[in-house]
């Protein structure tokens, strides 16, 4: 086996491991509120999320194409070993940041960790970054999706409070526990639609670097789609409890109507951004903001803003932190991998 083929296989394997960590890191955000309100048991919720993450990953590839095109100067890297070192370094940077935030129970964004890794390695390697695409498809949606999540969940919960104001609270909670099964399923599907595609885009970059795919070809190979879908669903089923505790309990004590409001709003935002904007938005950012918005209808002081402030800080530093780790990895791997 020659070096280039070995590097392609290694890079694809690392990309799928990133997808796996995305599953246990981010999928908990989609089901945490349903578990905390006892609409679903943790085991059933994780199993449902794993299946729907797989299905969601099969529903589109436009977000994958956006990720693939962030490094617009990638075609100019003519040495395959160097090109593969770039992709591998971005993945290692993203995985490192994912594991750090998972260990401390911080619901940061795997999406932005990957994008930060790509940007950091691109800058370190002298590869042109498509800043217009970063602004249009990453920065603006990164701001808009949490705002839409917060405001949408606040509006939905306000409407629920008005519509059911004269109903028995016990009966309302029981009804919304059932409704949460549907909203959590919709959110899990949206997570698969969004997050698995990001790994697909990086795998295609590795295939282009190894000469196994052409940059002019916008098609995503079927085996790439199936591999990414499988990795994220396996990751979902294997973990997620640390992040689940933060999302389900520490931000606010969530009741079934608020859980439904947050989940349904976040699902709509994820679908809209993936299908219409082709933007790789964060399930974590969107769902966390929706939980805050739904909780703020009780009273603004009901939201534990100290916890929320720590989460928002993690959001802000994710892209530069993953970029820095990716750049360091690039420097190390360039020394270790022959042909650079």
Q: What is the pLDDT of residues 87-123, one digit of tens each?
A: 999 998 888 887 787 777 666 777 888 999 999 999 9
Q: What is the dihedral of CA 302, 307, 312, 315, to 10 degrees?
A: -140
For 5-9, 103-107, 185-189, which range has the lowest pLDDT when averaged over its residues? 103-107
Q: Which of 249, 268, 250 is nearest to 182 (CA)?
A: 268
Predicted local confidence at residue 136, as pLDDT: 92
pLDDT at 302: 62
Spatial separation of the C-alpha atoms in residues 335 and 340, rounded to whole Å: 7
Give residue 303's pLDDT: 67
Query: In this predicted model, what pLDDT tens digit does every residue of 210-247 receive, in sequence order?
Result: 888 877 677 889 999 999 999 998 888 776 555 555 55
Domain boundaries, the chain: 3-336
Instruction: Identify how many contiguous H helices and E strands the chain contains and give both numbers.
Output: 13, 0
CA distance 306 to 324: 27
Length of the chain: 340
Q: What is the pTM of this model?
A: 0.86
Whether the per-residue pLDDT at 69 is higher than 90: the answer is no
Give Dmax over CA atoms of the chain in angstroms: 72
């Amino acid at each position: 086996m020659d070096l280039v083929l070995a590097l392609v296989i290694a890079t694809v394997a690392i990309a799928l491991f990133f997808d796996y960590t995305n599953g246990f890191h981010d999928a908990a955000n989609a089901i945490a509120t349903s578990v905390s309100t006892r609409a679903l048991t943790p085991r059933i919720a994780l199993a449902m999320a794993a299946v729907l993450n797989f299905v969601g990953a099969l529903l589109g590839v436009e977000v994958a194409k956006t990720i693939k095109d962030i490094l617009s100067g990638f075609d100019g890297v003519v040495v395959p070993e160097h090109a593969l070192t770039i992709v591998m370094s971005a993945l290692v940077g993203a995985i490192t940041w994912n594991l750090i935030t998972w260990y401390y129970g911080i619901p940061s964004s795997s999406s932005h960790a990957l994008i930060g890794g790509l940007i950091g390695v691109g800058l370190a390697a002298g590869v042109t970054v498509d800043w217009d695409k970063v602004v249009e498809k990453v920065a603006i949606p990164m701001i808009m999706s949490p705002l839409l999540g917060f405001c949408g969940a606040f509006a939905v919960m306000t409407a629920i409070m008005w519509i059911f104001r004269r109903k028995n609270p016990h009966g309302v909670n029981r009804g919304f526990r059932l409704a949460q099964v549907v909203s959590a399923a919709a959110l899990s599907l949206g997570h698969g639609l969004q997050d698995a595609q990001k790994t697909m885009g990086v795998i295609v970059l590795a295939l282009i670097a190894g000469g196994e795919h052409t940059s002019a070809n916008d098609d995503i190979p079927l085996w790439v789609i199936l591999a990414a879908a499988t990795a994220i669903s396996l990751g979902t089923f294997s973990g997620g409890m640390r992040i689940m505790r933060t999302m389900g309990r520490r931000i606010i004590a969530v009741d079934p109507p608020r859980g439904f409001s947050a989940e349904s709003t976040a699902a709509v935002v994820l679908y809209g951004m993936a299908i219409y904007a082709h933007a790789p938005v964060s399930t974590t950012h969107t769902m966390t903001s929706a939980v805050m918005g739904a909780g703020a209808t009780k009273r603004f002081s009901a939201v534990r803003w100290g916890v929320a402030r720590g989460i928002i800080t993690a959001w802000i530093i994710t892209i530069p932190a993953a970029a820095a780790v990716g750049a360091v990895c690039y420097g190390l791997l360039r020394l270790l991998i022959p042909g650079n």
